[in-house]
Amino acid sequence: MKTRVSVLGLGRMGAALARALIKAGHPSTVWNRSPDKAQPLAALGATVAATVRDAISASDVIIVNVTDCAASQALLRDPKVAETLRGKLIVELSSGTPREAREAARWMETQGALYLDGAILATPDIIGSAAATILVSGPLAAFTAHQETLATLGAVSHVGEDPGTAAALEAVGLSQLWGGLFAALQAIAIAEAEGIPLATLERQWKEGVPVIEGLVADLIKRASGKRFTADAETLSTVGVHAHALRHLADISRIHNLDPGLTRTYESRFERAIAAGHLEDDFAAMTQFTRAAPEAAPKAAGGTRPSAHT
């Protein structure tokens, strides 16, 4: 007999999660604030709960997927709902921060519920397939007990006992996502301003991917070992990057592009160079991501005075 599962929240993602569970044969109960979204799932065999309380009472595993963690907590902390949580496993798949996840986990414990906080690094169309990466954190025993059920949603992995870890790794994924997408916006604007066909841009972009992947892998390796001083393996120094950035800043100015993006890069380089890292490996830049300049520590061995900015 497959585990009974309830899904709270049937937006684009929640409906995809529910469909995967129904398809895998889990007796599924669904609830959504706007009841009309439950009808297609009822047609697939789900039981539609009239209230959150009914949905939680129907199953041992409760998957929550609403807009964010705050909306989810507002639903679950309703006193009439909270009294149904004892003995349940709540799998929170709404986006939130590590702090919210830890706070939710503490509160769930006071209610006698088990809690896993998750991050979906996938789009609704691939939910239920091995391509859908889902990270969860919280008690390993709770994950292990329901691993088979959770695996129907995608490639679900347990990333730590600290309930905040999945949300923290989601933030890592968002940094990667928007780093790439905002860079692409800048690239498209330059190509259009220079009359370059976007098909040409796309070809060049793809060719650049392995180079950037290599640079990122090297950066991570050097950051792990705090190897900031340039050596024989250094691919490029802070100074070389800072110099090349002038070309991007110039072309952006010429075409009246929002200077915010290049200004951010410039100010990071200025801080690093002022602190003596001109000739250090680019990995020295990892020390200049915090807001307060005075918080930036000195590099190990990378304190030469700057030759120029």
| Beta carbon nearer to ligand NAP, 151 or 190 | 151
| Beta carbon nearer to ligand NAP, 118 or 302 | 118
With beta carbons less than 8 A apart as the criterion, state whether 62 and 28 touch: no
CB of 71 to ligand NAP, least distance (A): 4
| Beta carbon nearer to ligand NAP, 124 or 276 | 124
Contacts with ligand NAP, residue ranges (CB under 6 A): 9-14, 32-34, 37, 65-68, 71, 74-75, 94-95, 120, 123-124
CB of 126 to ligand NAP, least distance (A): 10
| Beta carbon nearer to ligand NAP, 5 or 75 | 75
Tell me the β-bridge partners of 89: 61, 114
CB of 39 to ligand NAP, least distance (A): 12
| Beta carbon nearer to ligand NAP, 10 or 257 | 10
| Beta carbon nearer to ligand NAP, 124 or 160 | 124
Residue number, nearest CB to ligand NAP: 11
CB of 134 to ligand NAP, least distance (A): 9
| Beta carbon nearer to ligand NAP, 124 or 139 | 124
CB of 8 to ligand NAP, least distance (A): 8
What burial class does residue 223 get, using C-beta atoms within 10 Å of its C-beta: 0-12 exposed, 13-18 middle, 19+ buried? middle
CB of 64 to ligand NAP, least distance (A): 9
SS3 for the chain, per residue?
Answer: CCCCEEEECCCHHHHHHHHHHHHCCCCEEEECCCHHHHHHHHHHCCEECCCHHHHHHHCCEEEECCCCHHHHHHHHCCHHHHCCCCCCEEEECCCCCHHHHHHHHHHHHHCCCEEEEEEEECCHHHCCCCCCEEEEECCHHHHHHCHHHHHHHCEEEEEECCCCHHHHHHHHHHHHHHHHHHHHHHHHHHHHHCCCCHHHHHHHHHHHHHHHHHHHHHHHHHHHHCCCCCCCCCCCEHHHHHHHHHHHHHHHHHCCCCCHHHHHHHHHHHHHHHCCCCCCEHHHHHHHCCCCHHHCCCCCCCCCCCCCC
